[in-house]
């Protein structure tokens, strides 16, 4: 069985081929131009997906050494995400399936992130807890098996990645903020400012990052922070590093504590992390330390499967098709789709 998977829900146009459960190719075109606007511009994202969808799909087939006539099915994301962006990949996937006379499989983007640790070895075994941390989402999910999930908790306001992006904007260091804050933080002192740890002592598995973002803003006002820096460039660089390290420490402490708590509550042995923020070096380090002290194994995908990608979509579509789960060609985009 050979499946093509398409992802277009935000700013990555990506396509991948899975053959008999094995990933054959994964081609991703990232829309870097959004950085000059400080965030993803939905209209521009849709247009860029339109321009890139055909070359990305063609390249994924070519790299896999597969002709489109050999495909057994096509999967595409139908939500959640930006409606105009989703529609490009979804319509393309449905049209391709119709033209080739093969089944179409609609894929939930958040479900796809749960599969990003199931693409290649080492894989977590069921049941496991998955922490999905991206620009749009922060969720803890109990994964009993494929398509058998329980949402344990999620953010009540901003997503973790969104907080990274917004704080980076306040600091004037660029977009996307996560990787930049990660870099600055590696040279900074995490105890420079004690920012709040939202819900840390709370027994719930919910998150909230909006208050932390505001705490950073108030701190910057209090110290009279200037984006362009006052004093020497070295002093400004040092200040940025310390602020980034302090902010990152607050986010990471909460994410790690809640992930461990979720594993305790569900009595699993395996903790998986997915989504763009799982690229964060401090999160990886802290979670691995905290988990190994308590006997849990941590799974984090390769970088290309952390951020949005077609491979995780193709993997969901392959597993669904194996179980005979197909979608109607009437399936439409659901920007607010939720896991349960
Ligand atoms: O999963 P993703 O590519 O797209 C969404 O579905 O949102 O995640 C993008 C998010 C951005 O907010 C970005 O700042 C964040 O992931 N991110 C990071 C790092 N790399 C990317 N956040 C913290 N540390 C990183 N190293
Ligand atoms: Zn995502």
- 276 in ligand 1 pocket by Cβ < 6 Å? yes
Q: What is the pLDDT of residue 32?
A: 85
- Which of left, alpha, beta for 61 (phi over 0: left; psi -120 to 50: alpha)? alpha
Atom of ligand 1 nearest to the CA of 306: 1
Rg of the chain over all Cα atoms, to the nearest angstrom: 20
In tens, the pLDDT along 28-76 reads 988 888 888 878 889 999 999 999 999 999 999 999 999 999 999 999 9
In tens, the pLDDT along 263-287 reads 999 999 999 999 999 999 999 999 9
In tens, the pLDDT along 289-326 reads 999 999 999 999 999 999 999 999 999 999 999 999 99
Whole-number Å distance, alpha carbon 8 to ligand 2 midpoint, is 10
Q: What is the pLDDT of residue 311?
A: 98
Q: What is the signed CA dihedral for 227, 230, 235, 238, rounded to 10 degrees?
A: -20
CA distances, 162 to each of 134, 138, 157, 212, 234 (Å): 8, 10, 10, 12, 28
The average pLDDT across 113-124 equals 96
Stretch (H or E) spanning 215: helix 210-222
Q: Please, what is the average pLDDT of the chain?
A: 95
Q: Name the closest-CA residue to atom 23, ligand 1.
A: 178
Say if residue 109's pLDDT is above 80. yes
Q: What is the pLDDT of residue 228?
A: 84
Pick the ligand that lies closest to the CA of residue 161.
Answer: 1
Q: What is the pLDDT of residue 175?
A: 86
Q: Name the closest-CA residue to atom 13, ligand 1.
A: 178
CA distances, 286 to each of 152, 212, 291 (Å): 21, 20, 8
Q: How would residue 230 be classed by pLDDT, with cut points 50, 70 and 90?
A: confident
- 176 in ligand 1 pocket by Cβ < 6 Å? yes
- 80 in ligand 1 pocket by Cβ < 6 Å? no
pTM for the predicted model, two decimal places: 0.94
Whole-number Å distance, alpha carbon 161 to ligand 1 midpoint, is 5
What percent of the residues of the chain are helix, what percent strand, and what percent coil, each to the nearest 5? 45, 20, 35
Q: What is the pLDDT of residue 339?
A: 82
Q: What is the pLDDT of residue 203?
A: 85
Whole-number Å distance, alpha carbon 307 to ligand 1 midpoint, is 7
Whole-number Å distance, alpha carbon 73 to ligand 1 midpoint, is 30
Atom of ligand 1 nearest to the CA of 175: 14
Q: Name the closest-CA residue to atom 7, ligand 1.
A: 135
Q: What is the pLDDT of residue 249?
A: 98
- Decide which of 131 and 175 is more confident: 131
- 93 in ligand 1 pocket by Cβ < 6 Å? no
The average pLDDT across 93-100 equals 98
Stretch (H or E) spanning 108: strand 104-108
Q: Which two tokens stand for residue 54?
A: 């055909």
Say if residue 229's pLDDT is above 90. no
- Decide which of 137 and 270 is more confident: 270
Whole-number Å distance, alpha carbon 131 to ligand 2 midpoint, is 12
Whole-number Å distance, alpha carbon 275 to ligand 1 midpoint, is 7
Report the share of the chain in percent with pLDDT over 70.
100
Pocket test for ligand 1, best of 35, 112, 135, 186 (most atoms within 8 A of CB): 135
Q: 22 by DSSP, 3-state: which? A: strand
DSSP symbols for 245-290: HHHHHHHHHHHHHHHHHHHHHHT-SEEEEESGGGG-HHHHHHHHHH
């Amino acid at each position: 069985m050979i499946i093509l998977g398409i992802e277009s829900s935000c700013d990555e146009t990506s396509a991948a081929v899975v053959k008999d459960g094995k990933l054959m190719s994964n081609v991703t075109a990232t829309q870097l131009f959004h950085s000059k606007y400080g965030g993803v511009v939905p209209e521009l994202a849709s247009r860029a997906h339109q321009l890139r969808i055909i070359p990305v799909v063609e390249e994924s087939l070519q790299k896999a050494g597969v002709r489109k006539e050999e495909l057994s099915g096509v999967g595409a994301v139908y939500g959640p995400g930006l409606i105009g962006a989703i529609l490009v990949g979804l319509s393309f996937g449905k049209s391709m399936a119709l033209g080739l006379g093969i089944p179409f499989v609609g894929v939930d983007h958040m479900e796809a992130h749960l599969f990003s640790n199931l693409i290649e070895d080492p894989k977590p075994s069921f049941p496991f807890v998955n922490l999905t941390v991206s620009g749009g989402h922060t969720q803890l999910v109990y994964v009993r098996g494929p398509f058998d999930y329980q949402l344990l908790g999620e953010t009540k306001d901003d997503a973790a990645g969104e907080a990274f992006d917004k704080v980076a904007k306040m600091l004037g260091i660029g977009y996307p903020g996560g990787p930049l804050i990660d870099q600055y933080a590696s040279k900074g002192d995490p105890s420079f400012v004690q920012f709040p740890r939202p819900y840390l002592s709370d027994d719930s598995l919910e998150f909230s990052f909006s208050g932390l973002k505001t705490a950073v803003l108030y701190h910057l006002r209090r110290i009279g922070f200037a984006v362009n820096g006052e004093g020497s460039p070295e002093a400004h660089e040092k200040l940025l590093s310390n602020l980034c390290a302090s902010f990152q420490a607050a986010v990471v402490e909460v994410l790690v504590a809640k992930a461990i708590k979720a594993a305790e509550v569900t009595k699993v042995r395996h903790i998986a992390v997915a989504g763009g923020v799982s690229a964060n070096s401090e999160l990886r380090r802290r979670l691995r330390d905290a988990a190994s002290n308590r006997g849990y194994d941590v799974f984090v995908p390769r970088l290309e499967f952390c951020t949005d990608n077609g491979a995780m979509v193709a993997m969901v579509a392959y597993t669904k098709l194996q179980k005979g789960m197909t979608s109607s060609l009437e399936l439409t985009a659901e920007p607010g789709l939720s896991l349960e």
